[in-house]
């Protein structure tokens, strides 16, 4: 989920904690728990700091180790421990339990969007992306905002959030059923389907899909349960040549390949440079595929520039690939 949603969910969990008799009876503990749930609800995304280094490092690590099983345990202990240093007289067990729950919920809800997480590390490095909740879902966000407003106006926080989260759970079930219907329709039409990547959008009735079959990729949209294929590409294996071997040594290309399960590639030859481009097929927007990785290789088989990330115009991409740019 996005940062704003994680924060309001942290506030919500702090309100829900008032149903805990120990928290309810101790104002100091309640304040500590509220701080813990807000920070804990955002803590796994502290890996955003990797963006300060470069996009390749960020893409390779974001929602990776920071969302793993060991990290979930460590975040709970670290956040609650730091708060406890300032209020050592409160009940640490309940402070830790609610903070730990906030971290767990953060990672859990991240499983359901198209980006996903590596939540099962160290047992598996597979990206888990269920793809039926948008990274920013206005229904979830504004239900939380409504709960905060009701709490501010005097409503009982525990029962308020219990009601709201019952509604949100039902909403998750509904979105899962929507996705299941989409997947069934696609498999009926393409019986040789191997994988279907679904990407819900901010619009409730509009989805993006990327379909992998035995020999093709299909890119489409689903609007009001009507599926439309807008692009198709032959599945072509990566060539076994020196250009591709050099390209695969680049950190930006490696980060892209580590993250993107559905992509196509192309090699373009210019006067003195060969460009290798990888294009993620899951995020088509207005006839453009914005998530890419590009590497430029000169005649001496040296990498002179590369980039991976979100780009919405060729002009912007060229500026990122400027030779000598310290961010490449």
106 contact partners, CB below 8 Å, separation of at least 6: 1, 6, 9, 40, 41, 42, 43, 44, 45
Residues 70, 138 within the same domain: yes
Residues 226, 250 within the same domain: no
Q: How far apart are CA 142 and CA 305, in angstroms?
A: 43
Residues 202, 86 within the same domain: no
Q: What is the pLDDT of residue 322?
A: 61
Q: Is residue 326 part of a domain?
A: no
Residues 34, 159 within the same domain: yes
Residues 34, 125 within the same domain: yes
Q: What share of the chain is helix, strand, coil (3-state, %, to 5)?
A: 50, 20, 30
Residues 134, 259 within the same domain: no
Contact 297, 274 (CB under 8 A): yes
Residues 73, 141 within the same domain: yes
Q: What is the pLDDT of residue 132?
A: 95
Decide which of 207, 234, 261 is a domain's last residue: 234
Residues 65, 42 within the same domain: yes
Q: What is the pLDDT of residue 3?
A: 92
Q: Is residue 280 part of a domain?
A: yes
Residues 58, 21 within the same domain: yes
Backbone dihedral region of 12: left (phi > 0), alpha (psi from -120 to 50 degrees) or beta?
A: alpha
Q: How far apart are CA 309 and CA 110, in angstroms?
A: 20
User: Can you give the length of the chain in residues?
Assistant: 328
Q: Is residue 302 part of a domain?
A: yes
Tokens of 252: 């930006």
Domain of residue 248, residue span: 242-320
Residues 149, 201 within the same domain: no
Q: Is residue 179 part of a domain?
A: no
Tens of pLDDT, residue by residue, the chain (328 residues)? 899 999 999 999 999 999 999 999 999 999 999 999 999 999 998 888 777 777 777 777 778 888 999 999 999 999 999 999 999 999 999 999 999 999 999 999 999 998 888 899 999 988 899 999 999 999 999 999 999 999 999 999 999 999 999 999 999 999 999 999 999 999 999 999 999 999 999 998 999 999 999 999 999 999 998 999 999 999 999 999 999 999 999 999 999 998 888 999 999 998 889 999 999 999 898 888 999 999 999 999 999 999 999 888 777 888 877 654 444 4
Q: Is residue 185 part of a domain?
A: no
Tokens of 4: 């704003």
Q: How far apart are CA 204 and CA 13, in angstroms?
A: 25
Residues 205, 66 within the same domain: no
Instruction: Look up the pTM and report it.
Output: 0.87
Q: What is the pLDDT of residue 48?
A: 80
DSSP string for 169-216: HHHHHHHHHHHHHHHHHHHHH-TT--EEEEEE-SSTTEEEEEEE-SSE
- The interaxial angle of helices 92-110 and 27-42, nearest 10 deg, is 30
Structure letter (DSSP) for residue 237: P
Domain count, the chain: 3
Q: What is the pLDDT of residue 327?
A: 42
Residues 42, 103 within the same domain: yes
């Amino acid at each position: 989920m996005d940062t704003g949603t994680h924060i309001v969910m942290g506030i919500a969990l702090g309100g829900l904690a008032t149903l805990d008799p120990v928290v309810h009876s101790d104002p100091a503990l309640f304040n500590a728990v509220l701080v813990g749930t807000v920070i804990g609800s955002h803590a796994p995304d502290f890996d955003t700091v990797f963006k300060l280094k470069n996009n390749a490092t960020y893409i390779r690590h974001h929602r990776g180790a920071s969302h793993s099983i060991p990290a979930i345990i460590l975040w709970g202990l670290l956040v609650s421990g730091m708060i406890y240093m300032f209020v050592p007289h409160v009940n640490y067990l309940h402070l830790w339990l609610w903070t730990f729950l906030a971290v767990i919920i953060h990672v859990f809800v991240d499983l359901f969007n198209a980006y996903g997480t590596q939540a099962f590390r160290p047992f598996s490095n597979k990206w888990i992306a269920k793809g039926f909740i948008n990274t920013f879902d206005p229904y979830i966000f504004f239900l939380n905002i409504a709960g905060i407003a009701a709490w501010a106006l005097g409503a009982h926080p525990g029962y308020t959030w219990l009601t709201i989260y019952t509604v949100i759970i039902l909403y998750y079930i509904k979105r899962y059923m929507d996705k299941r219907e989409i997947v069934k329709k696609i498999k009926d039409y393409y019986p040789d389907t191997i994988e279907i990547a679904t990407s819900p959008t901010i619009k409730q009735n509009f989805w993006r899909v990327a379909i992998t079959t035995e020999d093709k990729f299909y890119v489409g949209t689903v609007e009001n349960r009507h599926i439309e294929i807008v692009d198709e590409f032959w599945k072509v294996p990566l060539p076994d040549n020196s250009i591709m071997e050099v390209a695969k040594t680049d950190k930006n290309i490696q980060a892209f390949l580590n993250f993107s399960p559905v992509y196509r590639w192309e090699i373009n030859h210019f006067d003195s440079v060969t460009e290798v481009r990888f294009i993620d097929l899951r995020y088509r927007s207005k006839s453009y595929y914005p998530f890419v990785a590009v590497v430029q290789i000169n005649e001496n088989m040296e990498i002179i520039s590369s980039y991976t990330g979100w780009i919405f115009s060729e002009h912007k991409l060229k500026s990122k690939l400027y030779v000598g740019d310290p961010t490449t």
